[in-house]
Amino acid sequence: MLDRDALAAATAPLSRARSMPAGFYTDPAVFAAEREHILLKQWFFTCREEMLPNAGDYRAFDTPGGPILLLRGADGVLRAFANFCRHRGSLLVEGEGCTKRLICPYHAWSYMLDGSLWGCPDMKDAEGFDRIENGLVPVRMETWNGFVFCTFADDSPPLIEHLGDLPERLGSHRLGEMRCTWRITLQPNCNWKLILENAMETYHTGIVHKDTVGKQSSRTLDTRGEWLCIQVIAGRSIATLPGTAPPFAPIDGLDADARQGTYFTVIHPTCQFAVSQDCMWWLNVTPVAHDRSILEVGGCFPESVLADPEFEAKAAAYYKRWEDVALEDVGILEKQQVALGSVLYRQGPLSWRDDEVQAIGIWVLDHLPLRA
């Protein structure tokens, strides 16, 4: 699928490493292998818990394993299920909402808020039919600090193990007190890995973002667990543009490291948390095909600042910055995806500033049965 020598060059020590071969981003067979060995095996982020505050609140998500839904039960417990009806498989819900029962739009089977089957008209002649066995199919779900993750694998390690020392590194930001106030969804025509690679280097920022965030410098931090981290050095939050002083005060009690800048992370395989002195935002990538992804950008602030009567006016500067920068990134990534399709493409040399780009690629390769 991918040439052995090409992969050896891509995984060589950074000073003599090459970028990944084009097929890493353009070959549907590589994408199929990633889906089987990575996307269906690892934890993926969905949303924050407070986005479903009440009993009956539900949200639908498209994932590489098909549609799923989150549903808050009458008992207050949040659960995840596959989003299909147990009769003949219709999609049950779309978007988000609040309901007393989930009612299938096809033949009106209905489900309680804990996923158990409630109504199933005209099934009395079906031999061996057991209502108990025909509840919604659960999806494994765990939360950390209010961030809801799911996985299709029963045997993947607990989320907290996956996160390694991320909770420690981000401890002083008290992310459990964050509340999501804003989200946008983009549909970039590019491979999912390009989005995460781009999000982990500041080599491009002075060029692609010359009119917005501008030039940045970063340091790579050691991590333990299934995540990577760089810190963009800046004594103030970079969640507003350079000309706009951040209107919100830094979070109380940030540790010395956290005060020095914004952490950009990749929580393998498909999620980035960017954590600044006054807020956090996520880039959540849903791979759709080798050359198509869904990118959600979501912004969160500490709950304490939401009470500020001018919160919305102040937060607008953050929302604009997040959206403008994301659109600039998507613009360049779509150009990169097109050019990676060249039959003449050859692997390029890497800069020391591409260290985390290489690290992401190596992590992916390590999880694919491509190498001996």
What DSSP state is assigned to residue 54? S
Torsion of CA 325, 149, 70, 128, to 10 degrees: 140
197 is a site residue for Fe ion (CB under 5 A): no
Q: Which of residues 78-97 bind ligand FES (CB under 6 A)?
A: 85, 87-90
Which span sits near Fe ion by CB under 5 A: 134-142, 218-226, 325-333, 354-362?
325-333
131 is a site residue for ligand FES (CB under 6 A): no
Among 201, 329, 354, 356, binds Fe ion (CB under 5 A): 329
φ, ψ for residue 194 (rounded to 5)?
-60, -35
- Residue 19 CA to residue 372 CA, distance in Å, equals 20
Beta-carbon contacts of residue 263 (< 8 Å; ≥ 6 apart): 169, 170, 221, 229, 230, 231, 273, 274, 275, 276
**Cβ 216 to Fe ion shortest distance, Å:** 9
107 is a site residue for ligand FES (CB under 6 A): yes
**Residue of minimal Cβ distance to Fe ion:** 329
- Residue 135 CA to residue 186 CA, distance in Å, equals 33
**Cβ 333 to Fe ion shortest distance, Å:** 9
- Residue 213 CA to residue 207 CA, distance in Å, equals 10
- Residue 150 CA to residue 156 CA, distance in Å, equals 11
- Residue 213 CA to residue 68 CA, distance in Å, equals 36
342 is a site residue for ligand FES (CB under 6 A): no
Binds 329, which of Fe ion, ligand FES, none (CB < 5 to 8 A, cut-off by type)?
Fe ion
State which residue, 122 or 211, has the beta carbon closest to ligand FES.
122
Among 70, 104, 274, 275, binds ligand FES (CB under 6 A): 104
187 is a site residue for ligand FES (CB under 6 A): no
Q: Which residues bind ligand FES (CB under 6 A)?
A: 85, 87-90, 104, 106-109
Site residues, Fe ion (CB under 5 A): 329
